[in-house]
Amino acid sequence: MKTYNKIHLFLKSFGILVFTSGIFILNFIPFLNLDFWFLVVSAYLMGSVPYGFLLAKWAGLGNLQELGSGNIGATNALRTGDKYVAALTLLFDFSKGLIVSFILILALRSEADFENLSFINDFVIYMISILVILGHIFPIWLKLKGGKGVATALGVLAVCDPYVFGSILAVWFISYKITKTSSMSALIAFVSVSLINFVFSHFMMTIDQVTESKYWNYIFTQQSAIFVMIIMFIILLSHIKNIMRILKKQEDVVVV
């Protein structure tokens, strides 16, 4: 692919990301006084932008839903043989999750709130962040047939729970080195880290109660642990077909 075309692909995708981010930011401009449902819809629509599908079309690779596994994510984009398109798909799918969560935390959490986090604000942050992931998996533009949500979920977790994000990445890389299967590695990483995080957070918060300390409560909150578990279940459900292929030993090996 020519350098001009590579830059053109990036700029078109970046333009969409900036535009959808701008619409989402409108929710937090006080004088506009937008309804809560605008926040819900704008988050879903930002998540529903099918970057892999668009990039494959623009690059002349065809309809990504008719190639490989039919998925619009980075892994299937890689099956086309175009690593640049796959890398951009990963970047922008990751970015839409990261940007929404970052804007939410910036708007709804402040340093003054740190010692006494608002349950309602946290609930809104987690719920809207999950909507972005669901938008990616069920995009209205493609008859609700989207990606698996892994990259977008990682973008969300990079902001909402960096500890879990880093752990999932580490486990994924180790698993991929062994299995050479992207979907299996993602499932192993999300399930193992989410369960360990849930148990560990409960254990550490118990220590806080016994020692009358609040240190671990800042890092491992019950809301955060449940939030990560919900994301895990979403990822599991989006990978049902992959799980069936893994059990039948029919899942493709993807070389990154």
Per-residue pLDDT tens for 68-101?
888 999 999 998 889 999 999 999 999 999 999 9
- 26 plus 101 within the same structural domain: yes
- 36 plus 125 within the same structural domain: yes
Q: What is the pLDDT of residues 147-182, one digit of tens each?
A: 999 999 999 999 999 999 999 999 999 999 998 888
DSSP reduced 3-state for 120: helix
- 14 plus 136 within the same structural domain: yes
- 115 plus 227 within the same structural domain: no
For residue 150, which of 93, 195, 104 has the smallest C-alpha distance?
A: 93
- 35 plus 112 within the same structural domain: yes
The domain boundary residue, chosen from 160, 188, 208: 160
Report whether 129 contacts 100 (CB < 8 A).
yes
- 44 plus 137 within the same structural domain: yes
- 29 plus 109 within the same structural domain: yes
pLDDT tops 90 at residue 219: no
CA distance 93 to 87: 10
User: Confidence class of residue 114 from pLDDT cuts 50, 70 and 90?
Assistant: very low
The domain boundary residue, chosen from 160, 183, 216: 160
Number of folded domains that form the chain: 2
Domain that holds residue 117: 1-160
